[in-house]
Amino acid sequence: MSLASLISFLKSKESIIFNALIALLTVGGQQLFSFFAFSCPCSPVENLRYGLAFLGVPALILLIVGFVINDNTWRLFTGNTYDVSLQERSRQNLQMKYKLICFVLGNIVGRALVAPITWLAVTLLNGTYYSCAVSEYANVERYDIFKNMSTDMKRRTLAQFPCPQLVQSNFTRIREEVLLTLKYHSQVSGWLLIACVAVIFFLVLCVARCCSPLVYLHLRYWTSYVNNEQTVFEQAMDQHSKIYATENIKKFFGFTPGSKKVSEIRIPSRLDWKTISGLDLLKVVNQDHCHYSLLHAWADEEDQGDEKIIPISLEPVSGEGSPSTLPNPPQTV
Helix (H, G, I), strand (E, B) or coil at 125: helix
Which are the contacts of 76, defined by CB distance < 8 A and separation ≥ 6?
Answer: 101, 104, 105, 108
Question: What's this model's pTM, rounded to 2 decimal places?
Answer: 0.69
Amino acid residing at 39: S
Task: Kindly indicate the confidence band of residue 320, based on its pLDDT and cuts at 50, 70 and 90.
Answer: very low
Residues linked to residue 318 through DSSP beta bridges, in sequence order: none
Domain boundaries, the chain: 10-225, 247-332
Give pLDDT, residue 179: 92
- The upper half-sphere exposure of residue 108, i.e. CA atoms within 13 Å in the direction of its Cβ, equals 19
**18 pLDDT more than 80:** no
One DSSP character per residue, 53-104 reads HHHHHHHHHHHHHHHHT-HHHHHHHH-------GGG--HHHHHHHHHHHHHH
Q: pLDDT for 86-129, tens place per residue?
A: 445 566 667 777 777 777 888 888 888 988 998 999 889 988 88
Angle at 296 between CA 292 and CA 298, to 5 degrees: 135
Q: Please check the confidence at residue 215 and state whether its pLDDT lies above 80.
A: yes
Tell me the C-alpha distance between 59 and 55, whole Å.
7
Q: Given pLDDT bands bounded at 50, 70 and 90, which one contains residue 308?
A: confident
Instruction: Tell me how far apart the alpha carbons of residues 154 and 146 are, in angstroms, rounded to a whole number.
Output: 7
**Poorest-confidence range of 92-101, 126-135, 188-197, 291-300?**
92-101
In the chain, the N- to C-terminal Cα span, in Å, equals 66
| Mean pLDDT, rounded, for 150-165 | 88
Percent of the chain residues past pLDDT 90, beyond the cut: 20
pLDDT at position 2 is 59
Tell me what pLDDT residue 319 has.
46
d(CA 245, CA 16): 37
Give the residue, 253 or 88, on which the prediction is more confident.
253
